[in-house]
Amino acid sequence: MNPWLLASIGLAICLIPCGVAVFRGSPIERLLGLEMAGVIVSMFFITFSEALGNPNFYDLALASGLMAFGGGLVFARFLERWL
């Protein structure tokens, strides 16, 4: 088993608390869970592509990071009305 694959599995397990925060938390905790999940998923894509030895998936990690940042800004703007 590749150390990069072990890192990918560890990052996938780290998504569980983010999911709990997104589904059961207050609005601020949901935003925090969304942002943290975006960072973890981007790192997961990088480690998984390194584990597979396929550098073509680095673009997916870059796109995921940019979309997570934009999604977090939109969600924060939406929450601004109620906070």
Instruction: Please tell me the total number of residues recorded for the chain in this structure.
Output: 83
The per-residue pLDDT for 51 is 93
**Domain spans of the chain?**
3-79
Q: Would you state the structure tokens that stand for residue 51, as one six-digit string?
A: 């584990």
Predicted TM-score of the model (pTM): 0.86
Q: How confident is the model at residue 19 (pLDDT cuts 50, 70, 90)?
A: very high
Here the tokens at position 68 are 């997570």
**Does the pLDDT of residue 11 top 90, yes or no?**
yes
